Amino acid sequence: MKHVGDRILTFIESNQKNTWLHSREIHIYIRNAHHRLDTTIEKTIDLATIEISEKLRGKGKFTKLLEYLEEQVNRPIYIENVLEERFQKFFEKRGYLKASQGMSDLVPCYYKLPNLSKESTNV
């Protein structure tokens, strides 16, 4: 999973706004974006669409990717439109906060601030 994680890190440093990243295990649509988180507008990395190979679902592949990104990315990680309640609980257990979206609060989005205990180097 680190291969896709490294490609996400490369994307973050690029001037691209969005892209699809593909591997045999995962297809992920990501975006360099800005969101209001609490009272400030923050530059975020958005995980907008995540598709895991059906035979690999429930085997921790996405969790490993998320752990890698949480450790490496020095900006908020923003997860868009978490439809299933089990994934909402998953993100909440990992310390993600529900983002206020106004009228679209019916389909929650979640974010997690970067690990502030490591040296701060803006990405």
Look up the CATH number of the domain holding residue 80: 3.40.630.30
Q: Is 122 domain-assigned? A: no
Number of separate domains in the chain: 1
Distance between CA 2 and CA 25 in Å, rounded?
12
Mean pLDDT of 1-29: 89
Query: Does a structural domain hold residue 121?
Result: no
pTM listed for this prediction: 0.85
> Which range marks the domain in which residue 97 is found?
2-112
| pLDDT digit string, tens, across residues 20-73 | 999 888 999 999 999 999 888 999 999 999 999 888 888 888 999 999 999 999
Burial of 72-92, coded b for 16+ CB within 10 Å and e otherwise, reads bbeebbbbbebeeeeebebbe
Closest-CA residue to 49 (of 68, 37, 62, 39): 62
